[in-house]
Amino acid sequence: MAAYERLAAVYERLMQDAPYEEWQQFMQQIFQRYAKIPIKTVADLGCGTGYVTRQLAESGYEMTGIDQSENMLAYAASMDDKQAVRWMQQDLRSLENIQADAAISMFDVVNYITSPEDVQAAFGRIWDMLAPGGVFLFDVHTIRHIEEDLAGELFAEVHEDLAYTWFCEAGQEQGEVYHDLTFFTKELESEKYDRFDEYHHQRTYLPDTYMKWLESAGFQVCGLFGDFDIEKTEQLDQADRLFFACLKNQEA
pLDDT of the chain along its 252 residues, tens only?
A: 344 456 777 877 777 777 778 888 899 999 999 999 999 999 999 999 999 999 999 999 999 999 999 889 999 999 999 999 999 999 999 999 999 999 999 999 999 999 999 999 999 999 999 999 999 999 999 999 999 999 999 999 998 888 999 999 999 999 999 999 999 988 777 778 889 999 999 999 999 999 999 999 999 999 999 988 888 777 788 899 999 999 999 775
**Domain check: are 135 and 198 in the same one?**
no
State which residues form the domain around 179.
145-203
Helix (H) or strand (E) holding 101: strand 100-105
pLDDT of residue 252: 59
- Pairwise CA distance, residues 215 & 209, whole Å: 10
The C-alpha angle 113, 117, 119, rounded to 5 degrees, equals 35
Q: Do 62 and 121 belong to one domain?
A: yes
Encode burial over 84-105: b for 16+ CB neighbours within 10 A, e otherwise. Answer: ebbbbebebbebeebebbbbbb
Separate counts of helices (H) and strands (E) for the chain = 7, 11
In 3D space, the residue among 169, 193, 194 whose CA is nearest the CA of residue 179 turns out to be 169
CATH number at residue 167: 2.20.25.110
Same structural domain for residues 78 and 164? no
Do 54 and 117 fall into the same domain? yes
Asked if the structure places residue 129 within a domain, the reply is yes
Q: Are residues 126 and 239 in the same domain?
A: yes
Task: Mark whether 152 and 243 lie in a shared domain.
Answer: no
Q: What is the CATH number of the domain that holds 43?
A: 3.40.50.150
Q: How far apart are CA 97 and CA 49, in angstroms?
A: 22
pLDDT at 1: 38
Are both 236 and 137 inside the same structural domain?
yes
In this structure, the answer to whether residues 23 and 57 fall within a common structural domain is yes
Q: Which long-range contacts (CB under 8 A, 24 or more apart) does 156-162 make?
A: 157/14, 160/186, 161/185, 161/186, 162/10, 162/13, 162/14, 162/186
Number of domains the chain is built from: 2
Domain final position from 184, 203, 222: 203
Helix (H, G, I), strand (E, B) or coil at 117: helix
List alpha helices for 139-230, DSSP H: 143-144, 207-217
Instruction: Say yes or no: 168 and 97 in one domain.
Output: no
104 plus 164 within the same structural domain? no
3-class SS of residue 170: strand
Distances (CA, A) of 3 to 91, 151, 191, 197: 21, 28, 20, 11
- Output the pLDDT for position 40: 98
Does 135 map to a domain? yes
Is 76 inside any structural domain? yes
* Residue 22 included in any domain: yes
Whether residue 136 lies inside any domain: the answer is yes
Same domain? 211 vs 222: yes
For residue 252, being part of any structural domain is answered with no
Residue 119 resides in a domain: yes
In this structure, are 69 and 119 located in the same domain?
yes
Rg, C-alpha atoms of the chain = 18
pTM of the full structure? 0.93
- For 142-213, where are the E strands, in sequence order? 154-158, 162-170, 176-186, 193-203
Residue 186 domain flag: yes
